[in-house]
Amino acid sequence: MTTTVTPQSLDGNAIASVIKAEVAADIQKLHAQGIRPGLVVVMVGNHPASEVYVRNKVKTSAELGMNSELITPPASVTTEELLSLVAQLNAREDVDGILIQTPLPPQVDKKLLDQAVSPDKDVDGFHPVNVGRLQSGQPSLAPCTPAGIIQMLKRSGIPISGQHAVVVGRSDIVGKPMAMLLLQENATVTICHSKTRDLAAFCRSADILVAAIGKAGIIRPDMVRPGAVLVDVGMNRITSQEDFDRFFSGNAKREKTFKEKGSVLMGDIDPHAFALASYYTPVPGGVGPLTIAMLMANTVRAARLRRGLAA
């Protein structure tokens, strides 16, 4: 007898709302102790694409009851000038979280900046000290996107312990910390990347498959084990009719968007594969909203850890 499983879409917006409500309640408790967590976002130059995203971060933090500040140095800023700004922010008592938005202009040394942010205010979790803390299981600030994915899985009642998790992608901001967090949750973890031989075979062996690649629909239905949990981190904009037809033919809602905007957003997983999954994260509306929610949670966590309060 074969049993058919109805794939369940994981609603990132709903889970993010719950997390943000928890963060707001936590902030109220800190207010009662005379503490007002503060987040500073540094956005260099003009980037219409990241501007909406950055303003959303600033707006959300203010709405949740934090001090929230946006600093916008010009595109001509030097690494030295940014290092001096970061030093000032590190020294400010009213600042708990510092986030430097990418992309940065080519003259700016991003690695140097990541290392200059105080590890205690590093709400992105990129500082080598936080990478090390995460690796050795000490209280740390974990990168927001993978931390959000763990929250999403846990809050949806999806077991992680003992599962085979395959992470495709090994970037410092998603793939590597994702693998480390899954390992901490007792998954058996495999990391794949562009040099992996027979990617399909690894993917087919996954109970939980996390795609963090940045290439539209590269994970095909034949690479997915029926019943697997599919987590799609990729954010790709497709603009060609050929791509659209390949991935979304017959999808009236997407067709409307494509006609209106000339493009649609999709992940790294071919949407046809979602039909095989037990759970999957849609793009948009899956992993994306969790990233901002976890940035808020990390800022409050930083505020607590810096003052020696339980996080």
Active-site residue identified among 20, 26, 96, 101: 101
Spell out the residues 6+ positions from residue 142 whose beta carbon is closer than 8 angstroms to its own: 125, 130, 134, 177, 181, 298
Stretch that binds ligand NDP, among 74-82, 202-210, 231-239, 252-260 (CB under 6 A): 231-239
Taking CA atoms, 238 is separated from 53, 170, 211, 251, 264, in Å, by 20, 23, 17, 15, 6
Do the beta carbons of residue 287 and residue 230 sit within 8 Å?
no
Residue 184 catalytic? no
User: Distance (Å, rounded) from C-alpha 127 to C-alpha 147?
Assistant: 16
Q: Does 288 bind ligand NDP (CB under 6 A)?
A: yes
**Strand residues in the chain grouped as ranges (E):** 8-9, 38-42, 67-71, 97-100, 164-168, 188-192, 208-211, 229-232, 236-238, 264-266, 279-280
Active-site residue identified among 96, 122, 124, 207: 124
Q: Does 12 bind ligand NDP (CB under 6 A)?
A: no
> Which residue number, 66 or 168, has a Cβ lying nearer to ligand NDP?
168
Stretch that binds ligand NDP, among 54-62, 67-75, 93-101, 208-216 (CB under 6 A): 208-216
Using CB under 6 A, which of 182, 189, 287, 303 touches ligand NDP? 287
Q: Does 169 bind ligand NDP (CB under 6 A)?
A: yes
Question: Which position has the token pair 């990478």?
Answer: 131
Sign of CA dihedral 168, 171, 175, 180: positive
User: Distance (Å, rounded) from C-alpha 48 to C-alpha 37?
Assistant: 28
Q: Does 204 bind ligand NDP (CB under 6 A)?
A: no
The SS3 call for residue 188 is: strand
Q: Does 37 bind ligand NDP (CB under 6 A)?
A: no
> Least Å distance between CB 172 and ligand NDP?
8
Q: Does 38 bind ligand NDP (CB under 6 A)?
A: no
Residue 245 catalytic? no
Using CB under 6 A, which of 79, 171, 184, 190 touches ligand NDP? 171
Q: Does 77 bind ligand NDP (CB under 6 A)?
A: no
Question: Which position has the token pair 């990129």?
Answer: 126
Residue 11 catalytic? no
> Which residue number, 234 or 282, has a Cβ lying nearer to ligand NDP?
234
Active site members: 57, 101, 124
Contacts with ligand NDP by CB under 6 A lie at: 145, 168-171, 173-175, 192-196, 199, 212-215, 218, 233-236, 287-288, 291
